[in-house]
Structure 1
Amino acid sequence: MSELPAPRRFSCRHATGLVHDQGAQVVDWIPTGHAPVLWLSPSTALERGRAVRGGVPICFPWFAEGPSGDLEPKHGFVRTLPWEMQSFESSDHEAVAVYRFTEEDVPDPALRALFPHRFEAEYVVRFGPELELELSVTNTDEHGFDFEEALHAYLVVGDVRRIRIEGLDGARYRDKVTDRDGCLQEGPLEPAAETDRVYESSADVRVVDPVLGRALRIRKRGSATTVVWNPWAEKAAGLPDVGADGWSGFVCVEGANVQGNAVHLEPEETHTMGYRVAVETLPGDPGASPA
């Protein structure tokens, strides 16, 4: 495989960011005065047609192995194919990029046959005081279809064993590690082992990180599912682009519509899912708990 071209760089007074045209994948967002927010594996393969581990991969038109459990590539085909950048605007306040992808951008007929529908996807990326992502899918076919989607954000944390994730209390979830449905979240989520949960939740989420002395506030729109994932040590050791040590430095908190919350679109209908991240500084010393 050939080397993946360097990502595009975006900057404004409030932040800098990087985006690969392949997958329209945001791989960096650094708000001014703060440490990086998106985790990117230092050992990920930067090759055309191979998934990049980290940043915010776009999962579409299916999530994981899809509803049937046997679809490949995992998380759909758009994350390993180039998107077309339609426009770019930059001001003192923010930098905005707009990407586009349609079924005609899938070169392999066998791959296209796995999702034999006409569609247009638009992805708007805003780098500023917040990172704002917006994925819109329009049905340009003559028949309705269903799809799954996720913005698979890898968030930097000081130590995943010391964070807590607020906002999911009372939500039902599927635990993919134990293969159990209908689990109930009680209180904040404090990961202590491999975590792979699909929550029935559209609520705001807050990742409280006492090690880095900050909280990441995540707000979603048009997203009925929140996915939380970390492979933990044993599983990460078998993932070459995560490695034995990388797992402790991130947590994935994803905006999604998957499984029972898959999206149905009739012809000419559009569905939009938004995902926003903001950084809050915790009071006191970096090791202190928030007030």
Structure 2
Amino acid sequence: MSESSNKPPLFLSPGQWSFTRWTTIGQLEALEVHHPLFEARLFLQGAHLTRFIPRNEPDWLWLSPSARFEPGRAIRGGIPICWPWFGDPARNAPEVRKRIKTPDAHGFARTALWKLEDVSESAHEVEICLSLDANDDFADVWNGRALALLTFNFSVRGCRLALTTTNLGNEPLAFSQALHTYLPTADIERSRVLGLGYTHYIDTLKNWEYCTQSGPVYFEGEIDRIYESGEPLIVVTPGITRKLTAVGSDSTVVWNPGPDKAAKLSDFPDSAWRAMLCVETANAASDYYVLNEGQSHTLGVLIGRG
């Protein structure tokens, strides 16, 4: 990453903001919000939110204590942005897969350097907008042309993300994506997800077998499922309840690595699987999108109190 690419845009100098400041974490540039009602931390690399802390509350997001902040390295925890494909390229629909030129999972957006577009502040909320122009700079890994615009809204009500994709090419563009939200828990075995009962899902740990959920989703070892639902969800952990409300989504990914896979993951302590879970707002599996020239689609999630 060049020195010039790390500099904040001149038209958005820190003097214009009351609550938002530039900072450097490790080797990465970030925006830190210190509002009287909440705090947040957002990295330009990956448009990656790693912290949201309402006043007098614990962090609503889980960040690995082993996370590393280095150019080109995905951050473990927070809300990684998986775009313009989700998961293993080979497991995507043919229309999505034909554009991907790498075996790497989860797309390139989570390690790309996004551009700051705007910061808007008030006595009640802060909104930050970042963009990524997926142009010829990414031609070695993906065949497409699109603009990703990601808006973060922070307030006492919660944290909202809206990812809008616009097809800048002259032919239909197929893509998949996810807002890969890591949530903390005091005890994974006493945690559950409500709102997915009787929903069909793909169990990736059972050779992508189709199953039907019965009752709440509990965590007993490794879990990796793609649910065919974009309905509001309640995540219940000891002492804390969160509500996740999605827009533009008909699929939800629920993931926890369990003890065996946790031992193999990078930047992830062996026992950390007990302290986190992922509930991901997605367009995944059969729920991918195709945009004609100039068309847009927005995938979003509001994380609020349950």
TM-score by length of 2: 0.86
Deviation at 1:108, TM superposition (A): 4.9
2:170, 2:194 → 1: CA distance? Answer: 42
Q: Is the counterpart of residue 259 in structure 1 residue 285 in structure 2?
A: yes
1:25 maps to what in 2? 48
More divergent stretch after superposition (37-46 vs 143-152) = 37-46
The SS at the match of 1:45 is: coil
Residue 202 of structure 1: CA displacement? 1.0
Q: Deviations over 1:101-155 (max 9, x none)?
A: 1123x635412xx2x2211110000111210000000011111110001000000
Partner of residue 135, structure 1: 163
Cα distance change of structure 1 residues 19 and 147 upon mapping to structure 2, 3 Å threshold: same
Unaligned runs of 5+ in 2: 3-25
- State whether structure 2 residue 262 is matched by structure 1 residue 231: no
Match of 2:12 in 1: none
**Structure 2 contact 134–148 (Cα < 8 Å) conserved:** no
Q: Secondary structure at the match of 1:49?
A: coil
Identify the match of residue 173 of structure 1 among 174, 197, 201.
Answer: 201
Decide which of 224, 247, 252 is 1:196's aligned counterpart: 224
Q: Over aligned residue pairs, what C-alpha RMSD do you find?
A: 1.7
Q: 2:81 aligns with which of 58, 79, 103?
A: 58
Q: Does 1:45 align with 2:76?
A: no
Residue 4 of structure 1 is matched in structure 2 by: 27
SS at match of 1:78: coil
Confirm whether residue 96 of structure 1 aligns to residue 127 of structure 2.
Answer: yes
Please, which of 151, 157, 172 is the counterpart of residue 124 of structure 1?
Answer: 151
Structure 1 residues 48-57 or 1-10, which shifts more? 1-10
> For the Cα contact (< 8 Å) 2:29–2:44, is it kept in 1?
no
> Separation in 1 of the partners of 2:121 and 2:35?
7
SS at match of 2:67: coil
Q: Give the 3-state SS of the residue equivalent to 2:110 in structure 1.
A: helix
| 1:107 maps to amino acid | D
Structure 1 unaligned spans of 5+: 281-291
Shift in CA distance, 279/249, structure 1 to aligned 2, threshold 3 Å: same
C-alpha distance in 2 between matches for 1:264 and 1:227: 20
Cα deviation for residue 28 of structure 1 reads 0.4
